[in-house]
Amino acid sequence: MNSLGRIFRVSIFGESHGPGVGIIVDGCPAGIPLAEEDFLPDIARRKPGAKGTTPRQEADMPIIQSGVFQQHTTGSPIMIWFENQNTRSADYEKQRDIPRPGHADWVARIKYGGYEDYRGGGHFSGRLTLPLVAAGVIAKKILHQGDAPIDIQARIMEIGGETDWEKGLEKAIAAKDSIGGIVECVATGLPAGLGEPFFDSVESLIAHAVFAIPAIKGIEFGAGFRAARMFGSEHNDPIIDKSGKTATNHAGGVVGGLTNGNPLVFRVVVKPTSSTPKTQHTLNLRSGEVEPFSVKGRHDLCIALRVPVVLEAVTAIVLADLLLIAQQRPVCWPAP
């Protein structure tokens, strides 16, 4: 469903062209300083406007509707609301019978029996990543607490196969097409022992959250797919000191499903934006014929450019949850 997390739990709602989008953050500890302006830097990083991003302009002003009092979290659910202002539903109503390839139009119609909000993808919209970013800001505050802050940084590794991502983007502009990319995320300062073996492995939880971001189609930790061609003696990371530090980090900071105190490192692949300027073909549900069509509306040429801050956000949400869970497991008996 639309919730994630065990102790620090987020629930999203809203549609692209409805009244707005929002999120509830439940299980957040009381006493964290929080004001609406705290969200603005990360929201700005997600904003379109740069080359290759959609010209749709939204104020994206977060409104805290609950859970904060006198500029601190109260321990009650925090609801953050973003009003939609710049909607153009008519763009979408015309194309109702022409399910756009790569989009959820057709599957949503099947799943919801024709009752889906089809305007701009409705609930299946990238606009829902906006409240995720807001929840990420709160999660990052939890991670930054104490003496040893946990820091998360995501950055673009390549666009269209080019590590100079400006160059990759030019390729797409020249081809009048959208383009994919790869984003890497690194979290440092993590204590060892977060996560669980098997179903709540750190890889399981991070991957679960990451695939909630539209357009992500793969994830790899540490050496990732390169590990398929490595020998064990190459891939294993020798432990070199009592803090668990390893000489290499092919495991990406996770062993046996648990953090090992080394940086958590993973990469995701972002598919090219489904809405490409190129003419494409799809089935016209009314005529029953496969027909050419062009995407209308305002879209990103390379959605990967806007992914880093969203990737940080879902990573922060997962890690804040794990950190809060870890704090509930005291070993009060003397060690053997």
For the chain, the distance separating the N- and C-terminal CA atoms, rounded to the nearest angstrom, is: 43
Alpha-carbon span 218 to 252, nearest angstrom: 16
- Which token pair is 61? 């002003």
Identify which range of 39-47, 54-62, 305-313, 322-330 contacts its own copies by CB under 8 A.
Answer: 322-330
Which residue's CB is nearer to its own copies, number 21 or number 319?
Answer: 21
Q: How near is the Cβ of 57 to its own copies at its closest, in Å?
A: 22
Q: Looking at residues 23 to 62 of the shown chain, list those that interact with its own copies (rule: CB under 8 A).
A: 24, 26-27, 29-33
Among residues 48, 52, 62, 122, the one that binds its own copies under rule CB under 8 A: 122
Q: How near is the Cβ of 90 to its own copies at its closest, in Å?
A: 15
Scan for tokens 């609301």, then name that residue: 81
Alpha-carbon span 202 to 315, nearest angstrom: 10
246 binds its own copies (CB under 8 A): yes
Beta bridge partners of 11: 3, 24
Q: Looking at residues 135 to 174 of the shown chain, list those that interact with its own copies (rule: CB under 8 A).
A: 145-146, 158-161, 172
Q: How near is the Cβ of 152 to its own copies at its closest, in Å?
A: 19
Tally of CA atoms within 13 A in the half-sphere of 305 that contains its CB: 23
Among residues 53, 54, 87, 275, the one that binds its own copies under rule CB under 8 A: 275
Q: How near is the Cβ of 16 to its own copies at its closest, in Å?
A: 11
Contacts of 287 (CB under 8 A, 6+ apart): none
Crossing angle of helices 307-326/129-144, nearest 10°? 50
Alpha-carbon span 336 to 333, nearest angstrom: 9
311 binds its own copies (CB under 8 A): no
Alpha-carbon span 113 to 324, nearest angstrom: 40
82 binds its own copies (CB under 8 A): no
Among residues 36, 91, 170, 285, the one that binds its own copies under rule CB under 8 A: 285
Closest residue by Cα to residue 283 from 110, 91, 90: 110
217 binds its own copies (CB under 8 A): yes
**Number of residues in contact with its own copies under rule CB under 8 A:** 161
Which residue's CB is nearer to its own copies, number 12 or number 133?
Answer: 12
3-state secondary structure of 269: strand
Q: How near is the Cβ of 43 to its own copies at its closest, in Å?
A: 19
- Which token pair is 290? 């496969």
Q: Looking at residues 98 to 117 of the shown chain, list those that interact with its own copies (rule: CB under 8 A).
A: 99, 101-104, 106-108, 110-117
